[in-house]
Amino acid sequence: MPRNPNEDLAELVNTGGSFSRVLAGFPVDLVEAARPGPRARSITRALEAAGSPASDVTLIEGILAEHAEDREQVPRFLLVRDGKLVIDEFLFGNDMHSDEAGYDRLPNLIPLIVQRQSMVPYVVLEASAGGGRIRTFLSGREHSDSDERMIGEAEHLHEAKGGGLSHRPHAHHTEEIWKRNASELAQAVNELIVRNRVHLLVVTGDPHVVDLVAAALTAPAKAILVTLGSDTLAAGASDEQLDELVSTSLARLRRTHQEDVISRAAMQEGVDNSGTDHRLQPLVHALQQATVDTLLLDLEALGTHTLLALDGPPWIAAVPSETFGTAIVESAPAAEALTRAAIATGAEVTVVEHGTLPDHAAAALIRG
């Protein structure tokens, strides 16, 4: 799985300031008139009521208008500071109940964190004797990030027909061409895996070519390989089997990653229940000391519990006497305060399924 996908957010938290935040399904209104529709007006009014500066509101109005003619409804997360767009990401698969808009020094980043932890870079290679198609994806997105078709050697590729002794030289030559083509495909994929930190490689196509490609892969590529012997490049071929294989492989990868971090957390100190401030203090203290590598949160278990969000290091406190002279921004929901402190100190945040942490804890940590 990706290593700390939220490094860019650390700079935002450390720089500080107040942010205009919008989480809404785009397009927010059907294009029926020249003026903004009711949802767009509701979002801008909410921002104005929360105190968003005019520069922020104007920028967000422009983004709403720019995407008013989009046909696909997709949740979108916007973060604007001082009239500049700092975060603009789609939250595919997010089940939205209503639009959210506000202006705050502590914008809720958890929907973005949850989306990012499910986004896994993967590669699909469809291989044939004469070449192949290589696509790179980020899970959760419908379309590929890149799509490359490679054409290999084709001379004498289909000349090996019939039997007898005369067939053997042609068959040998054809096999060598197949191996060279497969090797070129494997080399391209090997480079992609290193460059894009790919966590899943799916190879499909002619079964014999799939085997040749697999044999030519590096050890890191083989470790993340799943195969499907089905020629999806053939005319009229269906992608149904391929889509199902990708879906199940990604689900298994996410499940394995979560089980791994939960198991690692269980082996260390710092597993706590959220019932009282006292029970969360070991987590808070570890974050204050910047010794957390990974913070695990059970959002449902944390519930309405609160912690103190601070204006700077150590970023969080359980009680006012442990702020070390840093100003208190506000008493914030525990999940948001913990997440902000983790981001500020370079820790990874993983949101886990309810009840999966050891002893049904609300939060846990892995120390760096």
In the chain, where are the structural domains located? 18-104, 121-259, 268-367
pLDDT at residue number 159: 43
pLDDT digits (tens, 9 = 90+) for 37-52: 788 899 999 999 999 9
Is 60 exceeded by the pLDDT of residue 317?
yes
The H or E element spanning position 341 is helix 334-344
What mean pLDDT is predicted for residues 54-66?
93
Mean pLDDT of the chain: 86
Is the dihedral angle over the CA atoms 104, 106, 112, 114 positive or is it negative? negative
Single pTM value for the model? 0.82
pLDDT digits (tens, 9 = 90+) for 197-251: 999 999 999 889 999 999 999 999 999 999 997 776 666 667 788 889 999 999 9
CATH class (in words) of the domain with range 121-259: alpha beta
In whole angstroms, what is the distance from residue 49 CA to residue 102 CA? 8
Q: Which architecture, in CATH terms, is 268-367?
A: 2-Layer Sandwich (3.30)
Half-sphere exposure of 252 (CA within 13 A, CB side): 11
Is 268-367 the same fold as 121-259?
no
Count CB atoms within 10 A of the CB of residue 152.
20
pLDDT at residue number 162: 42
CA angle 229, 231, 233 (to 5 degrees): 145
Is 60 exceeded by the pLDDT of residue 65?
yes
In whole angstroms, what is the distance from residue 132 CA to residue 238 CA? 16
User: For residue 52, which phi and psi values (nearest 5 degrees)?
Assistant: -60, 135
